[in-house]
Structure 1
Amino acid sequence: MSSTYTPLADIPKVVQSLRSTFFSGITRPLEFRKQQLRGLYNLLADNDAAIREAVFQDLHKPPTELMISETGMIKQECIDAIKNLEKWAANRSVKTSIVNKFDNVHIRKDPLGMVLIIGAWNYPLNLLLGPAVGAIAAGNTVILKPSEISLNTAALLTKLLPKYLDQRAYRVVNGAVEETTLLLEHKFDHIFYTGNGQVGKIIMGAAAKQLTPVTLELGGKSPVFISRDVDIPITARRLCWGKFFNCGQTCIAPDYLIVERGIEDKLVEAFKASVQEFYGSSVQSSSSYGRIVNKNHFDRLKALLDQTKGKVVMGGQMDEKDLFMAPTLVLDVDRDDKLMENEIFGPILPILVVDRLVEGVKYVNQRDQPLALYVFSKNKKAIDYILDHTRSGGIVVNDSLVHFIVSNLPFGGTGPSGIGNYHGKRSFDVFSHERSALIKTMGMEKLNDLRYPVSTTITIMIITTTITTKHAFTHITHITHITHAYVHNLSLHLLSLLFYLQEE
């Protein structure tokens, strides 16, 4: 299956159509949103075999990985959104000063409007449809732009979405640079992009011209701190799973290890044992191991391995025709090694050996903030020190990757690793506007006399006091002792109001 790009002439029509749909109010009713979320859930449930085949053709992704990191997560997001939508979308009352005691003051959750979601190839379902759950739940119209690299998955989604979602409100636009550039020339109410930092800058630059807010889920070199006191077999097992999941093509994959000197050799041996356990004696023949997405990425990874000054102590085997690259460990890596420059995004894991983990903290802080940071240690003091003295989008202690699947944890980067976060209710919030609302009645007009012109000095003092303190009556009593004559001239309704506030 191949994906056909959307004709350039059709893109402005799609944008205008979805904007018109939003202003028609079709997406506002909560029942409509729930219906569309059920449709998205059913799309995944009804087409499991076709989805497996498409993602396998793109990434050789094993069914278990597909379920854990893509279809299972999206279905759960749909269920949570349907279940909690009334609560998420409900007006929220806020506390006010005594000036607005009789008013209806609250925050509305309004949809932003028409939004653009640009997905990524490494998780071609989750990174496109995951944010879409929040956008649909919030009542927006949505343009979905799948990655052109995972073309089989993009083609399948283009075919299936019209059968399950209302095409007046949700459309797929396919294409590469030219089509995306044209899309970005249009005004959106929010742009959500997942990918690399270089493209993220382009997205943000285009959005700035339209004053469009963005959520950018980028990446970076996510470090792993490993102290001497760890359980080495368990540490290797959990890292082996996290690093080689999706063949290392994960934005939060452990990118390099910072290991306290003395355990590195045992750690390497434990990694070898874990690879044997997970993938057998022939990793290439394993049904549980993925492939590099295309030849360009394969060549990039091969060049990194060819240029390293470190020692390959595990793996290193590759097959260009099959886009296969074995799980690979590189020991004795220098800090200026090619492997330490940019995010690897593949199944190569360099090991940086240090005498003390504090050296690693200094090294990490000299680089851009990563999307994730991992610590393996039994020492709470050491763990707290690392967490208190580093920055990252998220942290996991004594495991890897698993925070991504916890929907109640906000997922996102900081600095160069991203802007904003999502998952669960956060996804709904990303695509909602908190709209302030103050609703007054037309009655009780006498209570408004204080704010109108022809105010006396004492009136101004009373207004100031009532605005700035809960204990207005106590302060008014104090003023009364000083300016007794003025207080006697206040209108009866003002005194009644103050007595009412004292009781409250």
Structure 2
Amino acid sequence: MQAVLKARQAAVWWAGLEFRERRAHLLNWKRVIAARSDELAAVIHEETGKPIGDALLEIMLAVEHLDWAARNASRVLRRRRVRSGLLAADQGAALEYRPLGVIGVIGPWNYPVYTPLGSVSYALAAGNAVVFKPSEHTPRTGEWLASAWRDAVGHPVLQVVTGDGAAGAALVEAGVDKIAFTGSAATGRTVMAACARSLTPVVIEGGGKDAMIVAADADLDAAAKAAAFGGFGNAGQTCAGVERVYVERSVYPDFLARLAAIAENIQPGDDGPYGRMTVPAQVDIVRGHVDDALARGGKKVVGGPESIKPPYVFPVVLAEVPEDSSAMTDETFGPTVVVNPVDSLDEAVSLANSSRYGLAASIFSADRPRALTIARRLRTGAASINSVLGFAGVPALPFGGVGDSGFGRVHGADGLREFSRPQSVTWRRLKAPMDVMSLSRDPAVLDRAVRIFKMRHARGAMPRSQDHRDA
């Protein structure tokens, strides 16, 4: 792929710059994007169907991350001294993070700026060149970003290639130094298999089946509004939004009524709270999940199959859906929310963790220490307390999941290191007081070193009792 060869040449120049020089270029790109954000928002709107306001919000979040990556790369990745330790007292030691080279980024269609720039911005700030393949549903958005880069920087450090899955496969096979992929878990496995043939490392974000937990002491109005935003915002096409809600039984009817009241008054449209489904095929997945939930005994609270009016899907709220329904196990990626009652918060945690996905979750409770404890028990890469998607606007926080939600991290210091290779360097700074790293070492020196070693590491060792050994 010619773009990768071109990027390889540009990477030499880009990696050779000082951090401050790369920061200046990245901040200039940021200014171009911000100044022309109305223009970019119009492109996003045309390609995805999301309202202009949502497109602008996406751009603002992406620019905040770009700004953070540019300004913090030096602090996170610069060379730093480390302690050598007793056995290597004669050595000075330092750690530095070096660019990988060329990063291939394969982006999604639901957030065609915010999500891929979570990889692109941090990879560039770490000193890499990037070849970005946007989704085939949002190619003009990707091309716009590349055009803005050319206007701001000029050098082909960032390039965009467009096309369908075949173009993505070609990028994977083109000899890049790492792939950052966002999409379905199934496609992620295919990408991993291709990368395995060349031992190309990969970071994958594979979607989610995100849960919200509502405690009996929660602010139910706030929880219902958050569930509506996380479940219906962007037409439900948010990998870290809300698809499942577990509510303590004592407040379950009240919460359900509040969420229903919100959902009943939502009208999607170009100027509505959310727009059309971006990909027509996704409508069939939503329909299948709603049908399965109802066939298995789930209850319609708001909407149902009649809510599906392509290209729009009106809000759907279902309740008491069996946990083995596809509406509870598979990523729906549409404006549907399932609300189930639980007898305890322990049960809520257990059900939330039963998913093969593990991207994000949210907890609503007036007891923040208890909510923090619940967050630590959740098998997710991120959690929000008394909000949803709170982490998305905090550039210093890493983002990524576990299980079918993928692995690796973008954003924050972890995101900068994700696109770097650590390099350890030592240098002899004095004559070794006890030279044991030699084929001709003095046995007396080794004996002295062993005595010091045991004094340092074996002192106070307590052998297990005979009873314990025999047990």
Q: Structure 2 length normalisation: TM-score?
A: 0.87
Is residue 2:54 matched to residue 1:65? yes
- 1:74 alignment partner AA: A
CA contact (8 A) 1:369 1:393 kept: no
Match of 2:101 among 113, 116, 120: 113
Range with greater deviation from structure 2 (422-431 or 132-141): 422-431
Aligned-residue offset at 1:83: 2.7
Unpaired segments of 5 or more residues in structure 1? 1-11, 472-504
- 2:176 alignment partner AA: F
Query: 1:242-262: per-residue Cα shift (whole Å, max 9, x none)?
Result: 222211110111111122224
Is the partner of 2:112 in helix, strand or coil?
coil
Alpha carbons of 1:154 and 1:445: their partners in 2 closer, same or farther (altered >3 Å)? closer
Distance 1:87 1:357 in 2: 41
Residue 371 of structure 1 corresponds to 359
CA contact (8 A) 2:360 2:381 kept: yes
Is residue 2:389 matched to residue 1:401? yes
Match of 2:446 among 450, 453, 460: 460
CA contact (8 A) 1:192 1:215 kept: yes
Query: 1:275-302: per-residue Cα shift (whole Å, max 9, x none)?
Result: 47xxx67444753322211211122212
- 2:443 alignment partner AA: T
Distance 1:119 1:398 in 2: 30
Is the partner of 1:219 in helix, strand or coil?
coil
Query: 1:129-164: per-residue Cα shift (whole Å, max 9, x none)?
Result: 221111111111111111112234234335444323
Residue 312 of structure 2 corresponds to 324
Query: 1:39-78: per-residue Cα shift (whole Å, max 9, x none)?
Result: 320331232222111111122323443333x221222223
Matches within 5 A, 1:336-347: 336-347=324-335
Matches within 5 A, 1:25-424: 27-68=16-57, 70-101=58-89, 103-275=91-263, 282-284=267-269, 286-309=271-294, 310-316=298-304, 318=307, 320-321=309-310, 323-379=311-367, 383=371, 386-387=374-375, 389-424=377-412
CA contact (8 A) 1:98 1:470 kept: no
Aligned-residue offset at 1:36: 2.8
Identity of aligned residues (%): 26
Aligned-residue offset at 1:318: 4.1
Unpaired segments of 5 or more residues in structure 2? 458-471
Aligned-residue offset at 1:174: 0.8
Alpha carbons of 1:197 and 1:459: their partners in 2 closer, same or farther (altered >3 Å)? same
Alpha carbons of 1:454 and 1:197: their partners in 2 closer, same or farther (altered >3 Å)? closer
Distance 2:267 2:442 in 1: 90
Distance 1:454 1:354 in 2: 70
Alpha carbons of 1:127 and 1:284: their partners in 2 closer, same or farther (altered >3 Å)? closer
Is the partner of 1:287 in helix, strand or coil?
coil
Distance 2:375 2:65 in 1: 29
Distance 1:390 1:148 in 2: 34
Alpha carbons of 1:102 and 1:347: their partners in 2 closer, same or farther (altered >3 Å)? same
Distance 2:436 2:42 in 1: 72
Aligned-residue offset at 1:122: 0.6
Residue 4 of structure 2 corresponds to 15
Range with greater deviation from structure 2 (96-105 or 116-125): 96-105
Is the partner of 1:336 in helix, strand or coil?
coil
CA contact (8 A) 2:211 2:242 kept: yes
Aligned-residue offset at 1:394: 1.5
Q: CA RMSD in A?
A: 2.8
Which protein has the larger Cα radius of gyration, Structure 1 or Structure 2?
A: 1
Alpha carbons of 1:469 and 1:241: their partners in 2 closer, same or farther (altered >3 Å)? farther
